[in-house]
């Protein structure tokens, strides 16, 4: 009965959030519902292994963005892209240091909460490295909210956009039985293979890297339906939300001013990285801003497609930064712990 009530409330709020065009509605709505349920004393838990399959689905969904235009962008502009990726990782490290130095938030939680990239991925990976996934979730979506608002504002301000053709953004496709079954089987198998490997973040990286290779080669026509991706988001939302307590929310309220300060520092430093991109490769300002903004890959892709910017370059930098953040997350957290 508890699971039935949680499901009904999550589905209802999910539909309302989707109608209101809330980014990642099927993660945020179940997350909020499950937080309320946990605070009401409803004792429900999902095992940690239940995150593997949703991460696999999210990984292969993002893998759709890895196309030949993206590869061409990386090959032709690899040096400036590398500089900008390193600059944004340094910006995340600076924001993490501020949090770890001037608040009671642990270095691991500060590092993963400040990491730019796919918010769902950072939340799901954080618990594997000693971070508090509840605070990481709050930090990630606080920043995503600001990113969506500022990106919309910048889009209205900038009038000169690139006319480079846009590749498909990562997203869902129409249901086709055999490609769907093949995609689902690969996503689950790769996620569990990564989970039981010794590769950091393997249960996400295996589906992402393997799916990208198969997608580019044409060996796997990735088919992710909207309801499968929504189910993956919902599962991640439940897993995180049901672990909240009154004590953790009181803690978040106490450190909120420091969280806001670190968020604005990260946004400002990433904007400077965008200016650097304009100077190095003379790309239009909107493309540079979207490529370096520390938001989620899915929401940034949607904004980029609707703005007329160079989506291939945006996705190239965002995806390379995602790889860099996942790889640098654990050592960055240890380094910040020593210096903070």
Question: Where do the domains of the chain lie?
Answer: 53-225+246-339
Residue range 39-88, pLDDT digits in tens: 887 878 887 778 888 888 888 887 887 777 777 777 888 888 888 888 88
Rounded to a whole number of angstroms, the CA Rg of the chain reads 19
The answer to whether the beta carbons of residues 329 and 129 sit under 8 Å apart is yes
Contact 9, 237 (CB under 8 A): no
Is 137 within 8 Å of 239 (Cβ atoms)?
no
Helix (H, G, I), strand (E, B) or coil at 18: helix
Which residue bears the tokens 């200016």?
A: 275
CA atoms of 209 and 320, how far apart (whole Å): 11
Distance of CA 153 to the CA centre of its chain: 21
SS3 222: coil
Q: Is residue 222 over pLDDT 80?
A: yes
Residue with tokens 């032709």: 76
pTM of the model: 0.68
Give the residue from 37, 26, 59, 21 showing the smallest Cα distance to 243. 37
Residue 303 confidence (pLDDT): 65
CA distances from 103 to 100, 107, 262, 337 (A): 6, 10, 11, 13
Is residue 170's pLDDT more than 70?
Answer: no
| SS3 call for 3 | helix
Which has more confidence, 130 or 275? 275
pLDDT at 118: 67
Helix, coil or strand: residue 338: helix
Q: Which residue's entry shows tokens 């497609």?
A: 305
**How do residues 134-168 score in pLDDT, each as one tens digit?**
788 788 877 876 776 677 677 666 644 444 444 44
Tokens standing for 51? Answer: 């995150």
Q: What is the pLDDT of residue 302?
A: 57
Question: How distant is the alpha carbon of residue 108 from its chain centre?
Answer: 17
DSSP characters for 140-209?
HHHHHHHHHHHHHHHHHH------PPP-PPS------HHHHHHHHHHHHHHHHHHHTSSSTTHHHHHHHH
Residue corresponding to tokens 């990976």: 125
Q: Is the dihedral of CA 144, 111, 30, 300 positive or negative?
A: positive
CA separation, residue 180 to residues 29, 60, 64, 227 (Å): 26, 11, 14, 12
List, for residues 284-316, the tens digit of each pLDDT value.
888 888 888 887 665 676 566 556 677 778 877
User: How many CA atoms lie less than 13 Å away from 131 in the CB half-sphere?
Assistant: 33
The first and second tokens of residue 130, run together, are 């000693």
């Amino acid at each position: 009965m508890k699971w039935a009530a949680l499901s009904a409330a999550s589905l209802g709020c999910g539909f309302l959030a989707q109608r209101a065009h809330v980014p990642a509605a099927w993660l945020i709505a179940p997350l909020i519902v499950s937080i309320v349920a946990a605070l009401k004393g409803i004792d429900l838990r999902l095992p940690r292994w239940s995150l593997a399959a949703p991460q696999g689905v999210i990984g292969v969904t993002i893998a759709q963005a890895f196309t030949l235009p993206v590869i061409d962008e990386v090959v032709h502009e690899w040096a400036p892209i590398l500089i900008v990726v390193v600059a944004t990782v340094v910006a995340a490290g600076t924001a993490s240091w501020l949090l770890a130095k001037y608040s009671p938030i642990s270095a691991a939680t500060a590092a993963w909460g400040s990491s730019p990239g796919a918010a769902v991925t950072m939340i799901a990976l954080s618990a594997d490295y000693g971070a508090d996934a509840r605070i990481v979730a709050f930090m990630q979506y606080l920043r995503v909210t600001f990113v969506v608002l500022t990106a919309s504002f910048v889009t209205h301000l900038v009038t000169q956009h690139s006319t480079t053709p846009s590749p498909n953004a990562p997203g869902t496709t129409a249901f086709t039985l055999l490609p769907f079954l093949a995609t689902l089987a690969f996503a689950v198998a790769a996620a569990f293979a990564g989970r039981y490997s010794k590769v950091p973040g393997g249960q996400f990286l295996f589906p992402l890297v393997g799916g990208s290779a198969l997608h580019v080669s044409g060996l796997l026509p990735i088919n992710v339906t909207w309801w499968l991706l929504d189910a993956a988001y919902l599962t991640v939302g439940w897993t995180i939300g049901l672990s909240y307590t009154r004590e953790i929310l009181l803690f978040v309220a106490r450190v909120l001013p420091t969280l806001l300060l670190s968020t604005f520092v990260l946004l400002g430093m990433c904007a400077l990285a965008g200016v650097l991109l304009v100077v190095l490769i003379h790309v239009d300002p909107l493309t540079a801003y979207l490529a370096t903004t520390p938001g989620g890959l899915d929401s940034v892709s949607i904004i980029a497609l609707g703005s007329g910017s160079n989506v291939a370059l945006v996705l190239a930098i965002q995806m390379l930064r995602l790889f860099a953040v996942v790889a640098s997350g654990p050592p960055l957290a240890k380094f910040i712990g020593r210096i903070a």
